[in-house]
Amino acid sequence: MKVGVSNLRVKYAGADTLLFNRLSLEIKEGEKVLFLGPSGCGKSTLLQILSGLIPHAVPVPMKADAKSIPTSSGVVFQDPDSQFCMPYVDEEMAFVLENRAVPQPEMEGLIRHYLEKVGLTFKDPHIEIGSLSQGMKQRLAIASMLALEPDVIFLDEPTALLDSAGTSDVWKTIKLMNAKQTMIIVEHKIDEVIDFVDRIVLFDSEGMMIADADPISVFSFYKHKMKEYGIWYPGVWDEHAKEKKLPAPYVKGKEILEINQLKGYRGKIPKIEVQHKTAHEGEWIVLTGKNGAGKTSFLLSLMNVMKTSGKKRVMNKELKTIKASREQLAFVFQNPEFQFVTNSVYDELAYSLEMMEDIGVEQKVHQWLENYDLKQVRTLHPYQLSTGQKRRLSVGTAMFGAQPILLLDEPTFGQDARNTFKLLALFEQLRENGMLILMVTHDEMIVRNYGTREWVIEEGKLTVDRDLRRREERQHHAVDFTV
């Protein structure tokens, strides 16, 4: 099945210019194509046009001189929590079969068949989708896409919201499917994709095609572009490590945090328990452990947002109330949007200062806009920022005072490479100035490169406390790139 457009142009409502001014593209049957480009360049829009979702389901103004859109296609989207309409696994699979008008008696067998194709074997597939891990949800999304028996498969950043384990899980699944179909892929983390695709199309920020060739050529000629666009390509961490020298043997400052017999409860159930721990200025402690182990609960207990027992002291001051915690600990939430309380970036930064009746608000805020690279967007509503900008703003809003400790809940989650490195640089600078950082993360590379100490949390208990020597054995983890 051939897919393509010629002379495509798209206009987003209210935008000044056209996207893809007269773009032409043709994809041959059975080809596996990867679209690459900076965020906002329109590659997902193009994918939706080629799949026919635009303008059929999403009425974006567009025109093309000619289009060949597959009559039967399947799409996997990025958000595991918003692509299902039914509560149970079997019901969601059945929904697709119902759409295809498959007779009811055949459904049960087919549901098992498609689930097996993505390695999901349940004794009884009547399982709540909500109980699956994010990676499993994406595999379910792939299974339900396969149940359409599509001629062309579209993957729209299927791993963007997954941690590294989930990401490789999903790509392993896709590779094992051994699909003969044409595949069109948008993906920002290309380590595992690059040896899978036949062709890469590279776009610039205006949606102009700047390269269209086999992976080896594109990768060797346009690596600088990939770096500029924040794409996670193989070896990106090595390059980053070479560029950004970190002071390896750090010096411990004075002790500022002491935790004693801390327990955090949700209702009557203890979610986290920490016996006795101390931490010092200039440490970067990474909190690791499985989802639901109690990492976020730990941070929330320190903030007194959860009911707690036991003691926590910062510089010998006990933290008993949220207010006391807020004055000592800057907290950056997992979902930055929930931290915003005003209608513009400027007001957002000024808010906490005004609450403290600080004078010289204007001056400080302007300095922050500069520091966090938000000057151009200072009048926008916080929700209208890009994901990277939102994250930087949330860091800014958290650090209104001179708090000595920074708590971060997966701050780099879902960020592209450029934003990730930018954020890490910001945190590293704060750490060098003596801040103590406690950071929840699933990113092994951050643990390895930036952490000075690791606390592992398992089933509600802090079980391991180890010093990390930054960057050791890094070469061991470099990804071999062969096609």
Partner 1 sequence: MKRLKLSDILITIVIALVFGIIYKLWGPVYNIFKPFGLHIGDVIYGMWFIAGTVAVLLLRKPGVALLAETAAASGEFLVGSEYGLSVLLYGVVQGLGTELMFALFGYKRYTAFVAALGGIAAAVGSIVMDAAYGYVMDLALWKLLLLIGARLIGGFLLAGLLAYFLVEALEKTGVTSLIRPASDEDYKALDQ
Partner 2 sequence: MQWTLQYKETWLHRLNPSFKLVFILALFLLLLFVHNPNFISNVTVVPFILVMFATGHRKKILAILMIPFLLLFFSSASSMMFFGQGTTTWWKWGIVHMTEESFFRGLHIGFRALNFALLGLLFALTTRPVFLFYSLIQQLKVPPRFAYSFMAAVRILPVMMEEFHQLRAALLIRGIKKKKGFARIMQSVSLYAVPLLSQSIRRAHRIAVAMEAKQFNNKERTYYYKQTLSRVDVYFLIYITIGFSLAYWVGTTFPYFDLTDVRN
For the record, the structure tokens of 379 come out as: 């009048």
| Three-state SS at 14 | coil
301-320 footprint of partner 2 as x/- string (CB under 8 A): --x-x---------------
Dist CA 421 CA 65 (whole Å): 42
Closest separation between CB of residue 476 and partner 1, Å? 45
Nearer residue to partner 1 within complex by CB, 133 or 344: 344
Count CA within 13 A, CB hemisphere, residue 428.
18
Q: Which of partner 2, partner 1, none does 102 bind, CB closer than 5 to 8 A by kind? A: partner 2
Q: Are 74 and 142 in contact (CB under 8 A)?
A: no
| 148 is a contact residue toward partner 1 (CB under 8 A) | no
Question: Which of partner 1, partner 2, none is residue 9 near (CB under 5 to 8 Å by kind)?
Answer: partner 1
Query: Applying CB under 8 A, which of residues 1, 4, 6, 11 lies at the interface with partner 1?
Result: 11
Cα 77 from Cα 290, distance rounded (Å): 24
Which region, judged by CB under 8 A, interacts with partner 2, from 174-182, 254-262, 322-330, 434-442?
322-330
- Candidate segments 58-66, 173-181, 345-353, 430-438, binder of partner 1 by CB under 8 A: 58-66
Distances (CA, A) of 385 to 39, 58, 337, 376: 12, 22, 10, 11
Residues 4-33 as x/- pattern, contact with partner 2 by CB under 8 A: ------------------------------
Among 134, 288, 339, 403, binds partner 2 (CB under 8 A): 339
| Identity of the residue numbered 159 | T
Q: Which amino acid is at 360?
A: G
Residues 378-407 that bind partner 1 (CB under 8 A): 381, 383-384
221 is a contact residue toward partner 1 (CB under 8 A) = no
Residue 90 vs 192, nearer CB to partner 2: 90
Q: H or E segment at 55?
A: helix 53-56
- CA nearest neighbour of 41 among 161, 157, 175: 157
| One-character DSSP codes across 316-384 | TEE--SHHHHHHHEEEE-SSGGGG--SSSHHHHHHHHHHHTT-S-HHHHHHHHHHHTT-GGGTTS-GGG
Least separation in angstroms between CB 42 and partner 1 = 15
d(CA 199, CA 216): 9
**18 lies in the binding site for partner 1 (CB under 8 A):** yes
- Judged by CB under 8 A, the residue of 69, 102, 208, 324 near partner 2 is 102
Closest residue by Cα to residue 68 from 120, 124, 5, 121: 5
Shortest distance, position 111 Cβ to partner 2, whole Å: 9
Binding residues (CB under 8 A) for partner 1: these are 9-14, 18, 57-63, 343, 381, 383-384
Binding residues (CB under 8 A) for partner 2: these are 51, 53, 56-58, 73-75, 77, 79, 81-88, 90-91, 94-104, 107, 129-130, 144-145, 148, 300, 303, 305, 322-323, 325-326, 331, 333-335, 337-341, 352, 355, 383, 397
